[in-house]
């Protein structure tokens, strides 16, 4: 009869890996699922995937490729979901490895010199 005692699915978990994500409204009648409590410098995140979360909880996508290097941004979980393909940037790959259970701790690689 369509009645279930199952609790509603937590919208803040990834449907693929079931890891926790941080769900934020975008202010455009949508939501974005950001990697849980992770921030990385701009250079570690591909262009178009930089997010800032306002004090009211609204997430704002920051466009552009040249962002202040000292600002740390949020990024979508899907970039580091262990059910997806490994990312190409070293920091995201290290976090993907961590999420995949390949490493016990996430240690962001040191910035490449040059």
Chain contacts with Zn ion (rule: CB under 5 A): 14, 16-17, 81
Ramachandran angles phi, psi of 77, nearest 5°: -60, -35
Residue 45 vs 81, nearer CB to Zn ion: 81
The DSSP code sequence of 16-58 is TT--BEEEEE-SSS-EEEEETT--EEGGGS-TT-EEEE-TTS-
Contact assessment for residue 42 and residue 67, using Cβ atoms and an 8 Å cutoff: yes
The C-alpha torsion from 93 through 74 and 22 to 101, rounded to 10°, is: 20
Q: How far is the CB of 46 from Zn ion (least distance, A)?
A: 17
Distance separating alpha carbons of residues 94 and 21, to the nearest angstrom: 18
Q: How far is the CB of 40 from Zn ion (least distance, A)?
A: 17
Residue 14 vs 91, nearer CB to Zn ion: 14
Residue 41 vs 82, nearer CB to Zn ion: 82
Q: How far is the CB of 42 from Zn ion (least distance, A)?
A: 23
Q: How far is the CB of 3 from Zn ion (least distance, A)?
A: 30
Residue 36 vs 39, nearer CB to Zn ion: 36
């Amino acid at each position: 009869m369509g009645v279930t005692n199952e609790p509603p699915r937590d919208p803040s978990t990834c449907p693929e890996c079931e890891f926790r994500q941080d769900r934020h409204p975008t202010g455009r009648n949508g939501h974005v699922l950001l990697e849980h409590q992770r921030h990385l410098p701009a250079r570690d995140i591909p262009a178009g995937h930089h997010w800032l979360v306002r004090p009211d909880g609204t997430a704002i996508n920051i466009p552009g490729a040249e962002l202040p290097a000292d600002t740390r941004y949020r990024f979508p979980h899907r970039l580091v979901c262990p059910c997806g393909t490994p990312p190409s940037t070293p920091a995201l790959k290290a976090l993907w490895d961590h999420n995949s259970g390949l490493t016990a701790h996430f240690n962001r690689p040191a910035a490449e010199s040059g």
